[in-house]
Structure formats: structure tokens, C-alpha cells
Homo-oligomer: A and B are copies of this chain.
Amino acid sequence: MAEARAQAGGLVGLVPTMGFLHEGHLSLMERAVAECDQTMATLYVNPLQFEDPADLARYPSDPDRDLALAEACGVDLMVVPGPEEMFPSRPLTGVTVAGIGERLEGEFRPGHMDGVATVVTRLLAGLQPHRAYFGRKDAQQLALIARLVQDLGFPVEVVGCPLVREVDGLALSSRNVLLGARRAEALALSIGLMLAADRFDRGERRATVLEAAVRSAVPEDALEYVRLCEAATMTPATIAEGETVLVAAARFGSVRIIDNVHLVADHHGASADRGVRLGRPSLLYGSEGTMTAREQAMEPPGGAA
């Protein structure tokens, strides 16, 4: 990675990814390319953030396609560190963000948030970007990284970018290709969040009511949590005032998905950021090779393109 950094000049942007790119990743890359002199993207499936070895083992991968997609976005340098390069020996050093990293995902995925914090620190330390781009789909991760960067004083601007949804509303995730026949069920999570956003738009501010809207759409045995939180700290909020985020996680079969809507209510007015919706099926379902078997087992999303 030292060579990668040495090659980069001017304003350097970084887009860290775990690969198996979709339009969410590509939107980060396009924004970085537009804003920076040089854009680096990383493709590294970080074992530290997988608390479940089975989840790591089946995490989808298609590096050739990823490289082609990143190049098409104008990414200058794709950094694909091998495990040996990232961590020549098992790392003893861990980075933890108290509070933000302990709740929600930290609770349901023990060690996950520390794994994210450690690897992001590793990437920022080694690649020294001026800007780093992350999607708002991982709202808690974004809050954690923003706080980590502030606390550790990395001279990098953390840029949060809109969540991207499939045609029918499902938040884009590389894991969506693993949903298979349960994809229709999984749609319940985004449906619930859209219901909550609609309530918010009609003036509702109570956390209990907004959370109940999500619960009304998602089967109880699938929902892991739904919580209104302060966006910056991820502490529970009782009222959607200032900048809050309604975050939720659910499990459909063996696949766990997360989603959220970002809510702002202040003296200027109120807005619910539901993210961006694609106009056609995600490229997740369009590639050759590794995905073919999974695609065959899967319902097509939202009909024909």
C-alpha cells in the first residue's frame, strides 16, 4: 500500500470496499472521481469484521468484474491487498470506539464494529487519503468512522453518500444475491422503513410510533432491531429532532440485512432521506460467472428492466 500512496498526488480520495461491487459502491467511486485529483479504491474482505465464519466463507466475490467496474468509474488505483499485506501476522492491535461501536450492530455482531474500526484505521494510516467515502446504508459504521477520525486526528474528510436502493426499494448490498427465494420476504424491511418515513413526512416525531411502523411490516421473528438514534452518536432517541436515523436489521433465512432512513427535523423544516432508487435492476444480477448459480436460485428483482 505504501507504493499505492506514493503514486498518488494532489487531492487523494479513498473508497474502501469489500468488493462484489454494486451501484452503491459505484456512486461512491463516481463522487470521489469527480471531487478528487486521484481516486484509490480498496477491495479487501476484512476477516476482522466477520463474527461468523460461515458469513465470511460465502461472502460473494468477483474481483475481475470489480476491477472492470472501478476502472469504468474512473478510479485511478485499485488496491487489492492480500491477507499478508494487510496483516503480515495476526494483528495484536485493535481499535475500539466506545458507545457508538457497542450498540446495535456491535451488540448483534460481537466484534464486528471493532473489526471495522481497526481495518479503517489501517487503511487511513497506510493510504493517507484526504477524503474517504462511505455509504449511508451503513449508518452506524459511518458514525463510528467519523468519530474515529475525529478522535485519532486523521487529516481526512469523511464523506457520507446516499444509500442506493434497488428498483423495488431493497437497499443495495452485496449480500442481496444470497437471499435467493427469500428476497420477496426481505423486501419487508425497506417497506417498513418507507412507511416510517411517510409517517415522519406527515409530522410524526415519536420514536415509538416510527419504530412501530417498521414492526408492522417485518415479521417479528425476522426483525433483529429497529431503533431511532441520534445520527452522530447512535444513542437512542425518543423524538426525531435534529439529525436522527431510524436503523433496522433483519434476518431472512441465513442472510442478515440492514437498512435505514435518515431523518432531519430542525427550524429549517423536515426531510426524510430514503436514499436513491435505481431505475433498472442492479448490476448485482447482471454479471457472468460466480453469480450465475445464485441468480438461477433467485427471484428477479422488480420485474424486467
> Are B154 and A125 within 8 A (Cβ)?
yes
> Are A92 and B151 within 8 A (Cβ)?
yes
> Are A151 and B2 within 8 A (Cβ)?
no
Cα–Cα, bound, A121→B122 (Å): 11
Oligomer: number of copies: 2
Is A100 engaged at the interface, CB distance under 8 Å to the other chain? yes
Chain B minimum-CB-distance residue to A87: B151
Q: Which residues of B contact A92 (CB under 8 A)?
A: 97-100, 147, 151
Residues of A within 8 A of B (CB): 1-2, 5, 86-89, 91-100, 117-118, 121-126, 128, 147-148, 150-155
Interface pairs (17), CB distance under 8 Å: A87-B151, A89-B150, A91-B151, A92-B97, A92-B98, A92-B147, A92-B151, A93-B97, A94-B96, A94-B98, A95-B96, A95-B121, A96-B96, A121-B125, A122-B151, A123-B153, A126-B154
Further contacts, 14 of them, CB under 8 A, given A93-B95, A128-B155: A2-B155, A92-B99, A92-B100, A93-B96, A93-B98, A95-B95, A95-B96, A122-B151, A122-B152, A122-B153, A126-B152, A126-B153, A126-B154, A128-B128
